[in-house]
Amino acid sequence: MGTNNKVVSTSKLLSLILRHEPQLVGLTLGDGGWVRVDELLARCEQANKPISLELLKEVVETSDKKRFALSDDGLFIRANQGHSVEIDLGLSPTTPPQKLYHGTASRFLDAIWVKGLQRQARHHVHLTASLDVALSVGQRHGQPVILEVDSLQMHLDGQQFFQSDNGVWLVETVGTQYMRLMRQE
């Protein structure tokens, strides 16, 4: 396996453990989703999925979306967002910009226009300030489409917005009255 493949597969394994199934290697996430790095590495080794400290650090540093964070002392690690297990990331409500974007697939639009954007398996609906990011997030699901969200108006109407350490905007749900389909190129 090339170095890059190894980094990608390790990143996927860490996402799985730190967001969705810590029990896969016998771990429980602590407050804020943090786990001890030494415990994580020991558990992965026991589960026959060894990761070296060097590789772990490389994954954290090179992640295109800054998926993971190490504590200042380097003893703890967590996923910055995207969890399905119930954890409190300890984020404070923040005022969003006027508009944010959500990239999705065209096949979801009918359902979205009925129910609005729902968080599905995650803790929150994910929004971004970047059209490029929205497009690439949408492409993961199929024919991409971008919804423009009236985020500031939602906030003024009382919805809480949070921003994860890697800049993703998080919100409970987005009602259809706050969304507009952007013109297709």
DSSP-assigned beta bridge partners for residue 68: 79
What span, in angstroms and rounded, lies between the C-alpha atoms of 118 and 179? 13
Nearer to ligand HQG, 27 or 127 (CB): 127
What span, in angstroms and rounded, lies between the C-alpha atoms of 59 and 157? 40
Q: Does 112 bind ligand HQG (CB under 6 A)?
A: yes
Contact range with ligand HQG by CB under 6 A, out of 24-32, 36-44, 92-100, 117-125: 117-125
Judged by DSSP in three states, 97 sits in: coil
Nearer to ligand HQG, 41 or 79 (CB): 79
Q: How would you label 64-76 residue by residue, b for 16+ Cβ within 10 Å and e otherwise?
A: eebbbbbeeeeeb
Q: Which long-range contacts (CB under 8 A, 24 or more apart) does 59-62 make?
A: 59/7, 59/10, 59/11, 59/14, 62/7
C-alpha count within 13 angstroms, C-beta hemisphere, residue 176 = 8
Nearer to ligand HQG, 43 or 104 (CB): 104
Nearer to ligand HQG, 50 or 113 (CB): 113
Nearer to ligand HQG, 20 or 57 (CB): 20
Q: Does 65 bind ligand HQG (CB under 6 A)?
A: yes
Contact range with ligand HQG by CB under 6 A, out of 34-42, 51-59, 70-78, 108-116: 108-116
Q: Does 44 bind ligand HQG (CB under 6 A)?
A: no
Judged by DSSP in three states, 23 sits in: helix
Q: Does 168 bind ligand HQG (CB under 6 A)?
A: yes
Q: Does 33 bind ligand HQG (CB under 6 A)?
A: no
The footprint of ligand HQG (CB under 6 A) covers 65, 67, 82, 104-105, 108, 111-112, 115, 117-118, 120-122, 126, 137, 141, 168
